[in-house]
C-alpha cells in the first residue's frame, strides 16, 4: 500500500468512485480510495436502482437533469467494457390524496422551469402506462418518460474501472481507523493496513460518514436509517416504469431480468447501522403491493435486503469543505438518492477540491446551511 | 471442465464468465454476485454458491472456509406476497 497520496477518498460506493474518476479526469494525480469492505458494498449496492428528474426543489431538478444526461452517455464517456443497463422507461408518480396531487402540480412547474419533460396524467392514461395499477384508490398521477433505472453495481464498476485506468489506486478491505490533524489541517490517514500521508481527505462514507467526521472532531447533523427492499421471482415483462407513491409509501420497478424490486420507508426503522431484514417490512410491503398493484401480489418474494440512508435535516446532500479542518471535504447525507446523483457528486466535489469554476452551482448544499437555518426541504422523498 | 458449463442456473452464468471476473480481481462472492446476478435468482445461491466459492478458492489459494458467502436473508423459499398480506391482515383482526 502507498504511504503517501495527494488526495484520499474514504468510501468506494457510487459517490467515492465518481469523485475519484472526476478528479483523475481533470488531471489530479496520486489519488487513493479506501474502502472498508469491497467496492459498492454499502448503500449503493443495496439501492433501488432508479433515477428520476421528478423532484420538488429546483436544486434537485437541476442536479438530477445533469446526472441523467451523464447516464445517457456513461458507457461511452467511461469507456466501459460492460453495460450500465440504462433504461429510460419512465417514473409514474401516483397520488391518492388531493394534497399530494397539488404537490405534484407544484413540482411539475419547478421541473418545467428546468426543462424536464414531466407531465400530469389522467388515471385512464396511468392505466395505459401500467395496466395492472389499481386506479380505483388513486386521485391522479405524474409521469416523466426520461426517468428510469440503471444497474447500480455496473454503474459503480464503470466509474471504478475508469478511475483505475486513470491511475487511481483502490484499497479494499482497508478500514480507516483515524485521521491525523496538525495545527488545524489534515496531515494523514490511519488504516488497519498502515498509514497514508495526505493533506486532503474526502469523506464519501455516506451511512458511516458521521464516524469518519468524528475522527477530526466534527459532528455532522446526520443520522443513518435502515431501509428495506424485496425482490420477486423473475416473470415476463409486464411493467415499463417505476411506480412511486409518497403517501401510499412504495416504489416498485420490474428489473430488466424480470424480477420486481420494491421498497417502502418506515420512520420506526432502527438508526444504528443495522442491515438485517425484518418481518414487519415484509408484511407491510406485501399489503401495500396487494392493494396498489394486485397482480404483483401473486408473485413470490425470493429475497429481502436492507441498506442505509444517510439522512440530513432537509433530505438533501452536503457538498462542502469543512471549516476549521483544513483539507477535509464531505460529500454526505444523500438521504436515499446518492446513487442517482453520483455524476453530480463527482463533478461538484472534483471542481471544489481542484479550485475550478463550478459547472453546476451547488453552494446551497454547504454544511453551514443548517446552522444558518437555510434549509430547503425536498418534499418528494420516499 | 468445459468452460461453457452453466454454474448459475437461475441467471445462466457460465464458468467462463466467473473465471474471467476472478482473473480481473473480483475475488469475493458478493462482488461476482453483483456483476453477474449469481445467487440473486429463485435458488438464492443454493446451487451456485459452493461452486463459485470453490472457483475463488482455487484461484486465490485460500481455503473455502475462509471465504465469505453472501448474507442469508429471508425467505428460505419463495412465498406469494398476497399470502403474506392475507396472513398479516388476519393477524391484525
Structural domains of chain B sorted by starting position, each given as residue range(s) with its CATH number in brackets: 6-92 (1.10.10.1100)
Alpha-carbon Rg of chain A, whole angstroms? Answer: 21
Average pLDDT score, chain A: 97
Q: Which residue blocks in chain A are alpha helix, DSSP H?
A: 14-25, 58-72, 74-77, 98-113, 123-129, 152-165, 209-214, 279-292, 342-354, 369-372
Please tell me the predicted confidence (pLDDT) of residue A380.
Answer: 83
Answer whether B81 sits within 8 Å of A277, measured CB to CB.
Answer: no
> What domains sit in chain A, N to C, each tagged with a CATH number?
7-46+153-222+314-372 (3.50.50.60), 88-146+226-307 (3.30.9.10)
User: Nearest Cα to A188, choosing from A375, A315, A52, A8?
Assistant: A8
- Strand, coil or helix: A382: coil
DSSP state, residue A249:
T
Answer whether A45 sits within 8 Å of B84, measured CB to CB.
Answer: no
Considering only CB atoms, which chain B residues are within 8 Å of A284? 88
Please tell me the predicted confidence (pLDDT) of residue B6.
Answer: 96
Looking at the DSSP bridge assignments, the partners of residue A202 are A9, A329
Answer whether A297 sits within 8 Å of B30, measured CB to CB.
Answer: no
Nearest by CB: B84 against A157, A233, A286? A286
Residue with cell 469491497: A38
B15-23 and B49-60 helices cross at what angle (nearest 10)? 40
Identify the band that residue A274 occupies on the pLDDT scale cut at 50, 70 and 90. very high
- Strand, coil or helix: A153: helix
Answer whether B34 sits within 8 Å of A153, measured CB to CB.
Answer: yes
C-alpha–C-alpha distance, residues A15 and A206, integer Å: 8
What are the tens digits of pLDDT across the range B25-61?
999 999 999 999 999 998 999 989 999 999 999 999 9
Identify the band that residue A49 occupies on the pLDDT scale cut at 50, 70 and 90. very high
Answer whether B82 sits within 8 Å of A286, measured CB to CB.
Answer: yes
Tell me whether B81 touches chain A (CB under 8 Å). Answer: yes
Q: Testing the interface with B: which of A157, A161, A250, A283 to mutate, by most B Cβ within 10 A? A: A283
What are the tens digits of pLDDT across the range A110-155?
999 999 999 999 999 999 999 999 999 999 999 999 999 999 999 9
Considering only CB atoms, which chain A residues are within 8 Å of B31? 38-40
Nearest by CB: B34 against A40, A232, A259? A40
Nearest by CB: A287 against B44, B73, B89? B89
Please tell me the predicted confidence (pLDDT) of residue B1.
Answer: 78
Q: What share of chain B is helix, strand, coil (3-state, %, to 5)?
A: 45, 10, 45
Considering only CB atoms, which chain B residues are within 8 Å of A298? 80-82
Phi/psi at B77 (5° precision): -130, 160
User: Nearest Cα to A210, choosing from A382, A352, A11, A345?
Assistant: A11
Please tell me the predicted confidence (pLDDT) of residue A381.
Answer: 81
Which residues, in sequence order, are CB contacts of A176 under 8 Å at separation 6+?
Answer: A10, A34, A36, A189, A190, A191, A212, A215
Please tell me the predicted confidence (pLDDT) of residue B93.
Answer: 81
Residues on A contacting B at a C-beta cutoff of 8 Å: 38-41, 45, 82, 153-154, 157, 231-234, 257, 259, 277, 279, 282-287, 289-290, 294, 296-305
Please tell me the predicted confidence (pLDDT) of residue A382.
Answer: 74
Residue with cell 420477486: A232
Which contacts qualify for B69-73: CB closer than 8 Å, 24 or more apart? B69/B29, B69/B45, B70/B29, B70/B30, B70/B33, B70/B39, B70/B45, B71/A305, B73/A277, B73/A303, B73/A304, B73/A305, B73/B44
- Closest-CA distance, A113 to chain B, in angstroms, reads 38
How many CB atoms lie under 10 A from the CB of residue A37?
Answer: 16
Category of B27 on φ-ψ map: left (φ > 0), alpha (ψ -120 to 50) or beta: alpha
Q: Which residue of A has its CA nearest to B34?
A: A153
C-alpha–C-alpha distance, residues B46 and A13, integer Å: 28
Answer whether A303 sits within 8 Å of B73, measured CB to CB.
Answer: yes
What are the tens digits of pLDDT across the range A284-338?
999 999 999 999 999 999 999 999 999 999 999 999 999 999 999 999 999 999 9
Helix count and strand count (H, E) for chain A: 10, 19
How many CB atoms lie under 10 A from the CB of residue A255?
Answer: 18
Answer whether A299 sits within 8 Å of B75, measured CB to CB.
Answer: no
The residue count for chain B: 93
Helix count and strand count (H, E) for chain B: 4, 3
Over residues A67-96, the mean pLDDT reads: 98
Identify the band that residue B92 occupies on the pLDDT scale cut at 50, 70 and 90. confident
Q: Is the pLDDT of residue A64 over 80?
A: yes
C-alpha–C-alpha distance, residues B93 and B90, integer Å: 5
C-alpha–C-alpha distance, residues B37 and A319, integer Å: 33
Amino acid at each position: 500500500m502507498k504511504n503517501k497520496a495527494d488526495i484520499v477518498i474514504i468510501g468506494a460506493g457510487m459517490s467515492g468512485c465518481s469523485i475519484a474518476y472526476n478528479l483523475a479526469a481533470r488531471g489530479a494525480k496520486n489519488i487513493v480510495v479506501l474502502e472498508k469492505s469491497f467496492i459498492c458494498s454499502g448503500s449503493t449496492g443495496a439501492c433501488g436502482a432508479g433515477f428520476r428528474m421528478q423532484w420538488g426543489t429546483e436544486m434537485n431538478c437541476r442536479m438530477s437533469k445533469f446526472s441523467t444526461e451523464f447516464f445517457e452517455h456513461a458507457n461511452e464517456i467511461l469507456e466501459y467494457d460492460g453495460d450500465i443497463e440504462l433504461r429510460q422507461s419512465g417514473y409514474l408518480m401516483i397520488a391518492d390524496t388531493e394534497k399530494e396531487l397539488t404537490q405534484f402540480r407544484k413540482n411539475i412547474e419547478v421541473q418545467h422551469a428546468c426543462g424536464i419533460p414531466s407531465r400530469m396524467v389522467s388515471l385512464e392514461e396511468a392505466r395505459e402506462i401500467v395496466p395492472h395499477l389499481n386506479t380505483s384508490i388513486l386521485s391522479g398521477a405524474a409521469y416523466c418518460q426520461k426517468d428510469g433505472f440503471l444497474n447500480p453495481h455496473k454503474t459503480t464498476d464503470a466509474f471504478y474501472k475508469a478511475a483505475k485506468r486513470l491511475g487511481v489506486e483502490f484499497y479494499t478491505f482497508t478500514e480507516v481507523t483515524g485521521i491525523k490533524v496538525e495545527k488545524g489541517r489534515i496531515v494523514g490517514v490511519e488504516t488497519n493496513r498502515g498509514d497514508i500521508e495526505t493533506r486532503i481527505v474526502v469523506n464519501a462514507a455516506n451511512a458511516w460518514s458521521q464516524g469518519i467526521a468524528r475522527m477530526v472532531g466534527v459532528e455532522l447533523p446526520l443520522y443513518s436509517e435502515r431501509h428495506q427492499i424485496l425482490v420477486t421471482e423473475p416473470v415476463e415483462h409486464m411493467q415499463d416504469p417505476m411506480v412511486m407513491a409518497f403517501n401510499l409509501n412504495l416504489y416498485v420497478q420490474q428489473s430488466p431480468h424480470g424480477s420486481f424490486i420494491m421498497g417502502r420507508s418506515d420512520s420506526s426503522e432502527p438508526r444504528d447501522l443495522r442491515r438485517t431484514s425484518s418481518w414487519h417490512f415484509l408484511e407491510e410491503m406485501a399489503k401495500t403491493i396487494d392493494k396498489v398493484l394486485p397482480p404483483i401480489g401473486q408473485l413470490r418474494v425470493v429475497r429481502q435486503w436492507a441498506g442505509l440512508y444517510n439522512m440530513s435535516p432537509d433530505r438533501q446532500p452536503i457538498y462542502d469543505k469543512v471549516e476549521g479542518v483544513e483539507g477535509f471535504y464531505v460529500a454526505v447525507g444523500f438521504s436515499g438518492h446518492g446513487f442517482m446523483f453520483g455524476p453530480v457528486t463527482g463533478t461538484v466535489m472534483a471542481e471544489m477540491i481542484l479550485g475550478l469554476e463550478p459547472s453546476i452551482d451547488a453552494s446551497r448544499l454547504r454544511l453551514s446551511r443548517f446552522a444558518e437555518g437555510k434549509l430547503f426541504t425536498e418534499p418528494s422523498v420516499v | 471442465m468445459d468452460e461453457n458449463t452453466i454454474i448459475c442456473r437461475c441467471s445462466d452464468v457460465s464458468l467462463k464468465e466467473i473465471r474471467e471476473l476472478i482473473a480481473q480481481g473480483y475475488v469475493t462472492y458478493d462482488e461476482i454476485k453483483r456483476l453477474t446476478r449469481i445467487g440473486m435468482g429463485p435458488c438464492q445461491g443454493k446451487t451456485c454458491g459452493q461452486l463459485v466459492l470453490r472457483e475463488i478458492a482455487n484461484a486465490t489459494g485460500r481455503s473455502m472456509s475462509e471465504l465469505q458467502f453472501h448474507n442469508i436473508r429471508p425467505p428460505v423459499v419463495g412465498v406469494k406476497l398476497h399470502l403474506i398480506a392475507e396472513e398479516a391482515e388476519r393477524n391484525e383482526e
